Amino acid sequence: MAAGFRVTAALALLLLAAACAPRPARQAAPLPEPTQPPASSQWIGRDIIQAACLNDLAATGAKFELIAQAEAGKDGCTLQNGVRLIATGVELVRPAEMTCPLALRLMQFEKEVLLPEALRVFGQPLKQINHAGAFTCKRMTGNSSRISEHGHGRAIDIWGFVLADGRRVSVADHFRSQGREGQYLRGVNREACRFFAVVLGPNADAAHAKSFHWDIGPWNRCGS
C-alpha cells in the first residue's frame, strides 16, 4: 500500500513538472516573397502622367524608345519624360530625342495637317520629314540668358519634307516660291500655330530663314 502510494505520488510529480515546464516558442510563418513587376512592362516606376502620354503615343503608331532622364547639367539643360522618336506615320530623316508630349503633339499635327495637306496640294503622300534636331543643349536665339526649349526637349526644327515620288520640299529653297511647294510650306507653318506654342519660320527672323521652329514651351508666339 505504501509502495503504491509512492509510485502514484512520483507519477503525479512528473506530470506536474511536465505541465509547468516552458514550452518551445512557436516559429512565425515566413513572410511571402514581394510581388515582382512583370518583366515585360517598360514603364514601371514612371509617373501616371508620363505613362498616359506613352500609351497615347504608342496608340498613334509611332515608333519610339524610352531614354534615360537627363539630369540638369551645368548649363541647366534637362530632358524629362524623354523618348527617341524613330518614325512617325512617315519616315524621319533620323531619330530625334524629345519629350513624350512633344512627340505626341507632332504626331497629332502630322495626322491632321501634314499628311492631308500633302495629298491636297501635291496629290500624293508625304514620305519623309527632314529635321535639324530636337533635344540639344543650347541657349535661346536672340536671348542668351535663357536656355532654348531645345535644351529641355520641347522643340524641334524642321527644314523640309520628301514626297512619295522623291521630290524634296525645302524651307530654304521653296518657302517664298509661288509654286505648290511654297503653298504647302506656308500653309502648314500657319496651321502649326494651332498645335505648338511657338512657331517660327522665314517670316519671323533671319535665324529661321532655312527652317521651321516648333515648340511646346511656356511662351506663345506665332511668327510663321
pLDDT class of 189 with cuts at 50, 70, 90: very high
User: What DSSP line would sit under 108-175, residue for residue?
Assistant: HHIIIIIHHHHHHHHSS-EEEEEEEES----EETTEEEEE-GGGGT-EEEEEEEEETTS-EEEHHHHT
What's the one-letter identity of residue 42?
Q
pLDDT 10s digits, 76-109: 888 989 999 999 999 999 999 999 999 999 999 9
pLDDT 10s digits, 123-172: 999 999 999 999 998 887 767 778 999 999 999 999 999 999 999 999 99
Percentage of the chain lying above the pLDDT 70 cut: 75
pTM equals: 0.77
* pLDDT at residue 3 in the model: 46
